[in-house]
């Protein structure tokens, strides 16, 4: 699995977002955005983990199923190719989707919390 590429990129993204949150906190006009950036940064972690767990399961489950039912040889080869693509390319796509959705969910959580506090 290509996590030796994905994990350093994710750590760099986290560091960038933390620095961005600190910078926006220091500039008076951008101060309100700091909470959204922090919330989004915190949200990226569960998004990243959940998306990658789903991709790993999607790659492993077909292998487990084909061992139980023993399909024809040609179908085993097709499943092997599909599983290979899922386990090699899937983490890149899933990580990006998980981080984006996690950031959006974290920022949305901050928005809801601020609205509830203002009311």
Q: What is the pLDDT of residue 117?
A: 85
Cα separations in angstroms, 85 against 28, 36, 76, 80, 112: 48, 35, 14, 9, 39
| Mean pLDDT, the chain, whole residue set | 92
Count of all residues that appear for the chain in the document:
119
Strands (E), 1-119: none
pLDDT at 43 over 90: yes
Q: Is the pLDDT of residue 108 over 70?
A: yes
Over residues 45-62, the pLDDT tens digits come to: 999 999 999 999 998 998
pLDDT of res. 1? 62
Residue of 66 and 16 predicted with greater confidence: 16
Residue 50: C-alpha distances to residues 26, 68, 86, 92 (Å): 33, 27, 16, 13
- What is the percent of the chain where pLDDT is above 70? 98
**Cα(75)–Cα(19) distance, rounded to whole angstroms?**
50
Q: Quick check: 41 and 51 in contact, CB under 8 A?
A: no
Task: Please state the rounded mean pLDDT for residues 24-28.
Answer: 94
Pick the closest to residue 99 from 61, 36, 34, 52 (CA basis): 52
Question: What's the pTM?
Answer: 0.86
């Amino acid at each position: 699995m290509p996590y030796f590429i994905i994990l350093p990129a994710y750590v760099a993204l986290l560091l960038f977002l933390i620095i961005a949150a600190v910078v926006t906190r220091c500039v008076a006009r951008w101060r309100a955005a700091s909470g959204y950036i922090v919330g989004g940064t915190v949200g990226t972690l569960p998004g990243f983990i959940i998306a990658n767990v789903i991709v790993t399961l999607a790659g492993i489950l077909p292998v487990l199923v084909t061992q139980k039912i023993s399909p024809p040889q040609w179908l085993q080869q097709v499943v092997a190719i599909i599983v290979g693509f899922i386990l090699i390319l899937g983490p890149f796509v899933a990580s990006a989707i998980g981080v984006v959705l996690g950031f959006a969910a974290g920022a949305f959580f901050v928005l809801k919390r601020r609205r509830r506090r203002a009311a």
